[in-house]
Amino acid sequence: MDTAGYGGRTVTKKVMVKTNAPDHSVFYLTVMGNVENFVTIVPKRVTLRGLAGHPIKATAKIIPEKKYPFKIKSVSVVNKKNIGVKLEKTQEAKMTSYLITVENRRKTKGRYFDTIKLKTDSKIRPEIKIYVIGNII
């Protein structure tokens, strides 16, 4: 079960089990558990909204949870035509966090959706995705 995006919530999943027992050939198990936060991203999705031909930028803060520290090794964008990104490492109260600045590159009106991929040194979560929504008017 993929729990990405469920941090801080309780997840419940029903599983159907089939057996060869004639009186209990099918039964259901319920699996329930709390999903811990690995990272806090504020905002969770980046929105770029503005007028075509004008500078449009937004930022997101990436804060590793104390229990699961990680470093970001690289950053990439799925569609480089629409957005550019810049990653900065920041230090606050002995905690490392990151600030990502996202800039619109699209010159014409329209909407787009893109994804920023952050490669980490964590074995728990080697990649973090941040979704970007662009609305250029």
- C-alpha–C-alpha distance, residues 52 and 114, integer Å: 18
Give the model confidence (pLDDT) of 80-134 as tens digits.
899 999 999 998 778 889 999 999 999 999 999 999 999 999 999 999 999 999 9
The domains located in the chain, with CATH, are 1-36 (no CATH), 39-136 (2.60.40.10)
Res 116: pLDDT: 97
Give the model confidence (pLDDT) of 27-84 as tens digits.
899 989 888 889 999 999 999 999 999 999 999 999 999 999 999 999 999 988 999 9
Q: What is the DSSP string of 58-113?
A: EEEEEEE-TTS---EEEEEES-TTTEEEEEEEEEETTEEEEEEEEEE---SSEEEE
pTM: 0.80
